[in-house]
Amino acid sequence: MSVLAARQNCSVRQLQRDFAEVLGITPRQFGQALRTNHTRAALRSADTVLDAAFAAGYGSVRGFYEEAARRLGMTPSDYVAGAPEQVLLWSMTAMAVGDVIAVATPRGLAAVRIGNAAELEAEIREEFPNAMLGRDDAAMSDVMSALRALAAGLDAPDLPVDVHGTVFQARVWSSLREIPAGETRTYSEVAEAIGSPTAVRAVARACATNPVALVVPCHRVMRRDGNLAGYRWGLSIKAALLASESA
């Protein structure tokens, strides 16, 4: 960190302050996120996992496997192979807001998406081409009932999630789950709630990359002037969800 500060002609303390103001995370956390992205790219392009480890900047194979597995959600070898033998259950149902698909690992929901049934299923299969994807509407019935309630603006039991992102994204997503149904927050208010009042744009990006719609209610965040702003699944769906919750 001292080397980076020297290159920027500032103190380490100033460097940390700048990162917190702009990105809402520390330089170390930013570096870890970059290395995770480099790891994904290296695993896709390198000839061997060992080559990928060194290409991503890891000093030891053990450290590579321990950290990469934690951040990728699986071992590096499994990631390269497209998540083979990773058991993922999924279910899909039509709701008033559109078709909703949910994908779950043994630890919780990995994806909840809204859109067209055929496109949603194709998207999931492309993301994990070698995983053991199995549709099991019976096993997922409680999950889908909870999602149906959330889409209708009704109370629902908390659903566990198994999502992976940066430290900053995790903070934003956790904060969003604390917004009660029927209420909204501005991007600025969310930034303040997580202790990064100047990271408004970063909060907006975290909302846009939310992998579990409805469960992490990014639809409850809007601009300060009351404009709905963007929504990954469409503004009409965002408006409908907010209207249901207000009712």
Q: Which residues are catalytic?
A: 218
- Sheet containing 132-135: give its strands across: 108-115, 98-105, 87-95, 132-135
Neighbour count for residue 218 (Cβ, 10 Å): 26
d(CA 230, CA 228): 6
- 201 Cβ contact list (under 8 Å, min separation 6): none
Q: Determine the length of the chain.
A: 247
Distance of CA 47 to CAs 16, 37, 42, 87, 131, Å? 37, 18, 9, 26, 22
